[in-house]
Amino acid sequence: MGINNLDRFIATTQSARTCVGLVVTLADPAVSELAGDAGYDFTWIDMEHAPHTLQTVMGHVMAVRGTGCAPFVRVPWNEHGIIKPVLDLAPAGVIIPMVNSAELAAAAVSACRYPLAGTRGCGLRRGNRYGAMPFPDYLEQSRHEPLVIVQIEHVDAVSNLDEILAVPGIGSVCVGPCDLSGSMGKLNELDDPEVNRVLDEICRKVKSAGIMLGTAGAPFERWRRRGVDWIALTSDCGSIFGKAQEIIGQARATSTVDSGEREGDRRR
């Protein structure tokens, strides 16, 4: 869909380059506009762990329309009534957390598709560009959009992974390493050999199933070796905080050198 850059995102994943993205937690849509202009391939607008409303999400989705950036929205939960109004904002993809069984995966797909393929309610707005797109054309497009992205982030999902991957309509799998490690009793122990063995197994199975693989995490090189097609490498707050530490560290290092030089001048 040209309105949300999904076609461009998919084309990039089919090339030799991994798509990189920014997790958006702040309300100001300028954050997403900046992300698009900076060159991010996608945004991850996080309704699960950030205080977003439908209004702020809509602003972020709209902000990247004039860029090459695809807006993804992570919904708070795999529930039809929660997902439905987000779909009407016409995001490129919907990230659905804690999909731990084939039944939950099927429910996620169903919530994102109109009958007869699913149970999505019909309330047109941005998706058909407020009426500019003929309804039959919009329905045809909606058979494949938005991208349905299920999160594998619990040991129960790992146990049921083969069945989950067999569910028709899954557009991508997103690995959640931190929550997965917590469900293994090793919260955020991301260098633990057992945790990494499970993460490797998930990635191998997803790629073998021919399904797009994504995550939010680091380091990039480790995930690139696992074959991720897309990865959210940082967040808006993480970028601000990290750059602030860098600027402050450089300033303090310079002022320390200057203080030493002035002390030496006084002694001479």
Residue of 110, 186, 198, 187 lying closest to 150 (CA atoms): 110
Let me know the angle formed at the C-alpha of 163 by 111 and 214, rounded to the nearest 5 degrees: 70
Strand locations in the chain, DSSP E? 19-24, 42-46, 70-74, 93-96, 147-152, 172-175, 212-216, 230-235
**From residue 124, how far is each of 28, 84, 89, 179 by CA, in Å?**
25, 11, 9, 35
Identity of the residue numbered 194:
E
CA pair distance 2, 200, nearest whole angstrom: 34
Handedness of CA 24, 63, 212, 234 (dihedral sign): negative
Give the active site residue among 49, 52, 144, 154. 49
In 3D space, the residue among 104, 106, 109, 116 whose CA is nearest the CA of residue 94 turns out to be 109
| 48 token code pair | 């699960």
**Catalytic site includes residue 52:** no
Task: Please give the structure tokens belonging to residue 175.
Answer: 């690995």
Non-local CB neighbours of 137 within 8 Å, separated by 6+ positions:
128
Q: Which residues are catalytic?
A: 49
